[in-house]
Structure formats: structure tokens, C-alpha cells
Amino acid sequence: MENNHVNEGLEQIEDEIVNINEEDIDRVIDVDDNEEDFNDIAEDAGAEGETEDVEMFEPVSDSSKLTFEKHTDVVYCISLHPSGLKMAVTGGQDDKAYLWDTETGNVVLECNGHKDSVTSVAFSFDGTYVATADLSGFLKVWKVSSREEVWSFECDDIEWIQWHSHAHVLLAGTATGQIWMWKIPSGDCKTFTGLNSTVTCGRILPDGKRLCAGFENGMMKVIELKDQTSLHSLNVHSECVTCLDCYSDNNLVISGSSDLTCHITNINNGKVVSSVICDNNSNNTNMDNSVESVAFSKTHPWAAVGTLDGTIYLWDVQAGKLRNKWQFDGSLVKLKWLENSPQLFTAGLDGIIRLWDTRDGLLSKQWHGHRAAIMDFEISSDGSLIGSVSQDKTAKIFSMNSST
């Protein structure tokens, strides 16, 4: 009986978010006149970055507990099951996604049917479904328990996907400026078309009712999910918005850009609260430095900002000033806070995962094993495992307790 009540509650949330009526039908499909051009771009992107151009190296050691080697090309993305099942999903340049066991490395499901590099994968909030998306705009959803495909869709080139935090509702942003939202597995959908610019990133706010999206032209939009209303258009960056995160109070969003600025904005009034101006002090003159990753701490009023040149900025949100700053040898790809801790993970092009104590900027641990740049990493829900993927065609599972 209790499960029935839970299911009814989920259905109510999903219906409130994706409430399709006859008036919405004209807005559901919005084909851009430039669709052919964007498809050409996707084909070009898929042809770039071939394995022969990957810089390989020998790690000082391999502290991983498992290496997954089914992919035959660069692996771009990883997601770990959120509810304790020992499963990971990965996607790569070989046009494949795999669902696999993180204890044994055995393939649980080969997610076939993609037409281009699989660049986005994600489990739903409860792990019931897993979504895989490729560069050509082909999106698939699989039910984890039955290992069956339950839904698929094709749209313009997909930049990112994200599941709703409390419902089986999936969102995606495209290169043509659309944001799609589907109820899974029925496929009921809505679209938001607000700017003629690529939707480079998007984050659902903790309240589950609004979305903040960043665009290639430097704009951001705050969107009410239920009725497709644009609440605010925020013109805070001069170049592409590369990353976003939302604060737990539902009031603040932090955004990073290729213009080397990072702004904390009040999304209720659209005003910038404070700004981090990052240094362009890269030692690599061939590198175009940019803000690559941002994240709010859940335990302290801090925000972490990471730039491609390996610089980390720790910003005090309440005081509106820089608390700490440090740099490491190795370009940064992504940063992520350790749950309920002031410690921060980073991963970079040097193939190393690092854990920092942000209170003093000192290195706590590091994990070696990849032979090329890390493209993505995730932390398990219980904090015991790290999953990472690399240009070396592998995914690795590291134990939090084993480092070098």
C-alpha cells in the first residue's frame, strides 16, 4: 500500500510539471530552418578528436579497483546508480553506451542504436531509468530492472541532459536553442524556445519547479517548468556560459563562462550579487583558458570555481569575497564537492583525480591510473567509490580509501 502512495505522489508531480493540453501541441515540435547546418556541425564534431590524436602517458601507478575496457574509443561520460546498486553507465566516441557492474566489470546492458558519439548519460533520481544521448540528437531511455528500451526520441544536436530530482521527467538542451522536457516513459513533452543560441548548460533548481539555462551567447534564462514562462533573462556574461550550479536556498545561481568571469546571481530579481574575475595566467600559451566547472558547497557558504589552467578559486558567498586560491600542474576538467564535507574533488587532462581540503588548499589524496585525459567523473551516493572515464578508452572505479 505504501508503494502505491509513493507512485501516486510521483505521478502527481510528473503531471504537474508536464501538463500537456491541446493548446501546447503547436509548441511541442519547433523545427529550425537551420537544422541541416547543425547536423553538418554534429558530423564534423564526431569526426574530430580521433584516437590517434590523443596524448597518452604512463601513470606513476594504478590505484583503481576495476577497469572497464569494452569501449573502443574515447569515453566521454559516466553516471553511477543513485540507489546503491553496483552499476555504472558510460558513453563514448564509439557510438556506444554500456550499463555495467562496478564490482565485476560485466556488461549488464549494451545500449545499442546510437548514431554518433554518446556524450550524455544519466540515471533517473531513483535509478529506475537510465538515459543515453548522442551528438546527433538521438535520445534513448532504458528501464534498469528489465534492461529494456522504453522510449526514444530524435531532435537537434543535444548539448546536455538532466533528470528531474523528484520525478521521471527528463530535460535536454540543444544546439538550436531549444529545451525539451519529457515525461518518461509516456513521452509527453513540452519545449521552450527563447534564444537563437546553443543551450550550453542547464540546472534544475532544488525546488524542482524552475530551470536555469546558460547559452552560447552569454545569456542565461530562468524558466518556470510548469507553464513554460521565462521568469528572467540574465545578460551577465560576454561569452559562452560553460557551467552552472544552484544554491540550496533556491535564490542563487553561480555561472562560469569562457570570458573568465564567474557570477553569483539572485534569480528572483536578476541582480548579480558578487563576481569572481579569474586570471588568464596559463603557462600553456596554446591553451584558451576558461571557467570549466563551478559548484556550491552543501556544508559551508562557499562556492568552488575551476578554470582550465588548473586554478581553483574558493569564494565566500556570504562575504562576497575570495577566501582561497591555488593552482596545480594539470588542466582542470571538472570539480565536485565531497558530500557533507569541505573537501573538493578535481579531475584533469593529466589523468589524475585529486581531493583537496578547501580550508587550506592542501592536497589530501590523489588517484592515478588513467593513461590519458579524464573526461568526466562521478562520486557514488554513499561516498565510497569514484567512477571516471578517459580518452584512454577506459572507465575506472576507485575506492575512496585507496589512493596514491
Write the pLDDT tens digit of every residue in 259-289: 999 999 999 999 999 999 998 765 555 568 9
Q: Which residues, other chains included, contact 277 with Cβ-Cβ below 8 Å and sequence gap of 6+? A: 260, 261, 262
E strand or H helix at 8: helix 2-17
pLDDT at 83: 92
Q: Which grid coordinates are listed for 10?
A: 510521483
Does the pLDDT of residue 94 top 50, yes or no? yes
pLDDT in tens, 123-146: 999 999 999 999 999 999 999 999
Q: Which amino acid is at 177?
A: G
pLDDT of residue 275: 96
Q: Is the pLDDT of residue 189 over 90?
A: yes
Give the list of residues 6+ apart from residue 97 with CB closer than 8 angstroms, or none: 89, 90, 91, 111, 114, 118, 121, 132
Mean pLDDT computed over every residue of the chain: 89
**240-251 pLDDT per residue, tens:** 999 999 999 999
Mean pLDDT of 90-114: 98
Q: What is the mean pLDDT of residues 214-228?
A: 95
> Looking at residue 41, what is its pLDDT?
32
Average pLDDT over every residue of 398-402: 92
**What average pLDDT does the segment 188-193 reach?**
94
Residue type, 334: K
pTM of the predicted model, to two decimals? Answer: 0.88
Residue 82 exposed, middle or buried by CB count within 10 Å (0-12, 13-18, 19+): middle
Cis preceding linkage at 342, omega within 30: no
Quote the pLDDT of residue 84: 82
Kindly give the pairing relationship between strand 332-337 and strand 321-327.
Answer: unpaired
- Rounded to whole angstroms, how far apart are CA atoms 345 and 343? 7
Which residues contact residue 261 at a Cβ distance below 8 angstroms, ignoring those fewer than 6 apart? 236, 237, 238, 275, 276, 277, 278, 291
Whether 117 shows a pLDDT value over 80: the answer reads yes
CATH number for the 2-19+61-399 domain, one of 1.10.357.10, 1.10.10.10, 2.10.109.10, 2.130.10.10?
2.130.10.10
Which tens digits make up the pLDDT trace of 358-394? Answer: 999 999 999 999 999 999 999 999 999 999 999 999 9
More confidently predicted of 270 and 102? 102
Span 12-71, pLDDT tens digits: 657 666 664 434 423 332 323 333 333 333 333 343 344 458 999 999 999 999 999 999
Q: Which of 251-255, 327-331, 397-401 has the weakest average pLDDT?
A: 327-331
Residue 339: is its pLDDT beyond 50? yes
